[in-house]
Structure 1
């Protein structure tokens, strides 16, 4: 599968793989997420670091960051992400330095308006990853992620159902995307591979 992802990224800048991870891992991740205490979930914001703020007109999901201390299914997800990072660095020479990810929950009616994960030349997010955790999800349930070609034409490249095991990987600067409102609770993981832009005056990412 890593070879397919690398080939897609080289040819078109994005890749969508169905049944990308073992069902046992997907169900374990979903159980980990849904068993979290309410206080562990935070309303998602827009922007980065000290400039981040909540804006319910743009996004209405809630998130919980995945840490290496979580272990279990979350730990296996981080291991998978590290293996993918190593493979892509070796085959595409992307210079990916670190990875961060969070669980994301969209309640019925929640959405995320069209956005890009990184602005050209202004951020160090290189590659975006989305893994879906929703079993038995159908077209009538909504909640698709729509991937567009660019901000100007808004040509639809892919409409991705958030079905358990589906993995989407795409260049963070190049593809605007949005999450359409879902009709039932929708669970996923969103992650980003970064390059290291630290200098003697600035540590990246900021604390």
Structure 2
């Protein structure tokens, strides 16, 4: 990590405003240039230089139902921590977005968790929901892409489906692009790519418990 990385503050992230009205109306929104190219490149290079032991095989489910299944998903993840300056800057920025969403949409979002995701060439994540109604605190999913010079031929698209199985969006994972959607509404998947693909996936959550669990199985 460079000296600049160590001094990076959340204010260094100049963000493009998300369309709150569109998010409220259709349940999802795509922002093409949420962060400037320089900040995307810094995050991308940070993810690239992390040692292999910093990543873990991604799983499915929560708590006692958590398991790894490479027939369903094949990415590796690293949970972001406030102890790392660059990671903390991203977390702080997304917490500022949480405050905006609560202020304008009265969503009652309580906190935010997120992880880096690395999809090696050929990796995928089959169709799934991030939350099930009444069984999870996850309300909004965010996916932010870090990949410079990404093209259609590189694959790795995020596909978002409607309630009748129709394709609503096919999102190219280009650097700077942010996708936000309701966690318990939109089935989605990640298609195979031909290159190493990096993103930051996160969830805004409610401050509620179900069956005594702060973050119940989803």
Bin of the TM-score, shorter chain as denominator length: over 0.9
SS of the aligned residue for 1:76 comes to helix
Matches within 5 A, 1:14-93: 14-72=28-86, 74-93=87-106
After the TM superposition, list the runs of 4 or more consecutive aligned residues in structure 1 that deviate by more than 2 angstroms: none
Matches within 5 A, 1:168-179: 168-179=179-190
Instruction: Work out whether residues 136 and 215 of structure 2, in 8 Å CA contact, stay in contact via their aligned partners in 1.
Output: no
Q: How far apart are the structure 2 equivalents of 1:202 and 1:133?
A: 37
Matches within 5 A, 1:137-176: 137-150=150-163, 153-176=164-187
Q: How far apart are the structure 2 equivalents of 1:167 and 1:56?
A: 26
Q: CA deviation at 1:198?
A: 3.4
Q: How far apart are the structure 2 equivalents of 1:185 and 1:3?
A: 27
Q: How far apart are the structure 2 equivalents of 1:102 and 1:195?
A: 18
Q: How far apart are the structure 2 equivalents of 1:137 and 1:71?
A: 27
> Which segment drifts farther, 79-88 or 29-38?
29-38
Instruction: Work out whether residues 156 and 192 of structure 2, in 8 Å CA contact, stay in contact via their aligned partners in 1.
Output: yes
Instruction: Work out whether residues 145 and 177 of structure 1, in 8 Å CA contact, stay in contact via their aligned partners in 2.
Output: yes
Q: CA deviation at 1:50?
A: 2.5
Q: How far apart are the structure 1 equivalents of 2:66 and 2:46?
A: 26
Deviations 1:159-201 (A, max 9, x none): 00000000000000010000000011111010000001138x7
Q: How far apart are the structure 2 equivalents of 1:23 and 1:79?
A: 19
Instruction: Work out whether residues 2 and 87 of structure 1, in 8 Å CA contact, stay in contact via their aligned partners in 2.
Output: no
Instruction: Work out whether residues 13 and 171 of structure 1, in 8 Å CA contact, stay in contact via their aligned partners in 2.
Output: yes
TM-score (norm 2): 0.89
Q: How far apart are the structure 2 equivalents of 1:169 and 1:15?
A: 5
Tell whether 2:217 aligns with 1:204: no
RMSD, aligned α-carbons: 1.4
> Which segment drifts farther, 157-166 or 47-56?
47-56
Instruction: Work out whether residues 128 and 190 of structure 1, in 8 Å CA contact, stay in contact via their aligned partners in 2.
Output: yes
Q: CA deviation at 1:203?
A: 4.8
Q: How far apart are the structure 2 equivalents of 1:2 and 1:23?
A: 16
Q: How far apart are the structure 1 equivalents of 2:96 and 2:21?
A: 16
Aligned length: 201
TM-score (norm 1): 0.93
Structure 1 residue runs of 5 or longer lacking an equivalent are: none
